[in-house]
Structure 1
Amino acid sequence: MTLTSPTTAEKILTDAQFLRVREWVYRRTGIQFGDNKRYFVDKRVHACVQHHGGDFNSWFLQLRAGGGQLAEQLVNELTVNETYFMREDHQFDSLVRTVMPRIAAARRAARDDSPVRLLSLPCSTGEEPYSIALRLLEDWPGIATTDVEIVAADIDTRVLHQAQAGEYGPRSMHRVPPALRAKYFEKLPADRWRLSGDVREAIEFTTTNVCDTDLMRSFRAFDVVFCRNVLIYFDELSARRAAENLFGAMRPGGYLFLGHSESMSRISPIFEPVRIDDGIVYQRPAIGAAR
């Protein structure tokens, strides 16, 4: 999405109102909206105020007082959800060729039969966790003998409902090979596709905020975490808090995949960068590992 700076005539909120909303969103989500996002924020806040049926001041008073439905609606409106199947597919290659075999081998060596757990956060409308499931089913032989759990989470409740429905249009589907479409999807009218029920039911969808330490405490013992293209929206403090929350959600030795433009090395030293295949992943050090 390309956003341009608005002119004065395009401003919907006053400067004071924009700053109040921006501060609330930052405290709630960790997302920092700069002045270049002014028009984007103004339009979506205006829509929320109109839906509420009052003026800005009465709406914001209820929002700040903890109005759950108003907060949910605003967060949903301001969350950017740009995704499609098999995005940054080289990372899925690394997952099935290297990461999953390493994890499975470590489980066997430790005589540990606990499930291998993967987390997709934020999962948006579901294309990423479903891509993970499809690649494991198609390209990792170990799936036949290994118990795998996939959890997908997002702050936006609206996109979670879409993800659970598993219905997608051409933009989401443009990188799905015809063979996979035929095998795992049902063709619907209006050039839409529905993912098979078996795959949809294999994913557990839930709500969280990666910057909220209290919410993230329920996420534990993940072997692999995909957290791609979200840290770029945070300032330094929020990004560091998110990194610490992800660290706490992972097993020692677990692997973290970030987006291609993100680098944990610039955020926090708690993860170790590891080169795998053609890219870099980040690993929570194993217990007893030298730092």
Structure 2
Amino acid sequence: MSLPSDKGPLDKGPSDKGDTAGLNAADYDAFCRFLRERTGLSFTEAKRYFVDRRVSERMAAVGVEHFRQYLNLLRYQASGEELQLLVNRMTVNETYFFRELYQLDCLVNEALDEVVRGRAPGSRVRIWSAGCATGEEPYSIAITLLERWSRVDEFEIELYASDIDSQVLARAREGVYEERSLQAMPRDLIAKYFTRLDDRSWQIMEELRDSIDFSLVNIADPRQMANFRGMDVIFCRNLLIYFDDLGRREAASMFYDALSPNGFICLGHSESMSRMSSLFVPRRFPDAILYQKPQS
């Protein structure tokens, strides 16, 4: 999952004000504080126009004219349905298969062999893609394990994937992709793991779709994060950069609790755990830098 740049694909520019909620400074601050408390997502003043557009769309959809009335709906609706629909509009999900391939190289060349050292054959190995968007990352992990980790058949591999956006999770479970998502994938692997549906789309094989446990998870919610324990590797790439400093520290602490001793977390290329938390030990492998939970 990623957040938008200052101007999303639907934004026409600051002169187009007819379809916005017209949030004043106090309303914008109240909304951003609420969203940060509920989701961990942090929007700056530079994102006000984007936020205004998305809030306006949802207010029109539910027939609410005044922002404070809409904010109360978000706060107190028992089902949380409207908050989920708004979150789905507040995030932009752009990814593709084998993105930042060097970390997948590190996974199969170095990290996993260290993770399973001393474990008996048949033991579980748990890998979690947090902020999985439309599923390219967890499916890339699965294919990489099958193709390149020589010990994959010795262990019981459990793959988990989560996102805060319910719509992208539905697409991930369906596993249908167009050429843009497959741009970095070798043609032979597409032929091996996908079925062509038409001139523009392919669907990943059912066995891989069924092998991944997809779930709706807000990583800023300690109660939901408590369900994830004993993870050996966590991929959380290009997500925490959209949290504020406090949110990053809180998320890092919860990821630490989710990892097994000696487990690893993979961040995006522009992220550094050393600026978020001192709990992890940086590990410089030949292929990538990962962050490890020390043995207690």
| TM-score, with length taken from structure 2 | 0.91
Letter paired with 2:75: R
Aligned residues: CA RMSD: 1.7
SS of aligned partner of 1:106 = coil
2:86 corresponding residue in structure 1: 74
2:206 corresponding residue in structure 1: 197
Q: Which moved more, 1:225-234 or 1:63-72?
A: 63-72
Q: How does 1:46-65 map to 2 (within 5 A)?
A: 46-55=56-65, 56-65=67-76
Higher helix proportion: 1
SS of aligned partner of 1:261 = coil
Q: How does 1:151-190 map to 2 (within 5 A)?
A: 151-190=160-199
2:27 corresponding residue in structure 1: 17
Contact kept? 2:123, 2:155, Cα under 8 Å: no
Q: Which moved more, 1:35-44 or 1:266-275?
A: 35-44
Contact kept? 2:231, 2:259, Cα under 8 Å: yes
Identity of aligned residues (%): 41
1:191-222, Cα deviation, whole Å (9 max, x unpaired):
11100000110000011111211110010000
CA distance in 1, matches of 2:105, 2:97: 14
The answer to whether the aligner puts 1:84 opposite 2:96 as a matched pair is: yes
Contact kept? 2:234, 2:264, Cα under 8 Å: yes
Letter paired with 2:273: M
| TM-score, with length taken from structure 1 | 0.93
Q: Which moved more, 1:183-192 or 1:197-206?
A: 183-192
CA distance in 1, matches of 2:101, 2:43: 29
Structure 1: tracts of 5 or more residues without a match: none
Q: How does 1:1-291 map to 2 (within 5 A)?
A: 2-4=5-7, 7=14, 10=17, 12-15=21-24, 16-55=26-65, 56-67=67-78, 68-107=80-119, 111=120, 113-287=122-296
CA distance in 2, matches of 1:112, 1:284: 23
CA distance in 2, matches of 1:192, 1:92: 25
Shift of 1:58: 2.8
CA distance in 2, matches of 1:153, 1:276: 27
Shift of 1:114: 2.7
Shift of 1:141: 1.3
SS of aligned partner of 2:117 = helix
SS of aligned partner of 2:106 = helix
Contact kept? 2:105, 2:287, Cα under 8 Å: no
Which structure would you say has the larger RCO, counting Cα contacts within 8 Å and 6 or more residues apart? 2
Shift of 1:62: 1.3
CA distance in 2, matches of 1:104, 1:172: 31
CA distance in 1, matches of 2:247, 2:23: 26
Shift of 1:105: 2.4
Contact kept? 2:122, 2:154, Cα under 8 Å: no
CA distance in 2, matches of 1:170, 1:12: 36
Shift of 1:259: 0.2
Shift of 1:278: 3.0
CA distance in 2, matches of 1:112, 1:219: 23
SS of aligned partner of 2:102 = helix
CA distance in 1, matches of 2:43, 2:5: 14
Aligned length: 284
Letter paired with 2:55: V
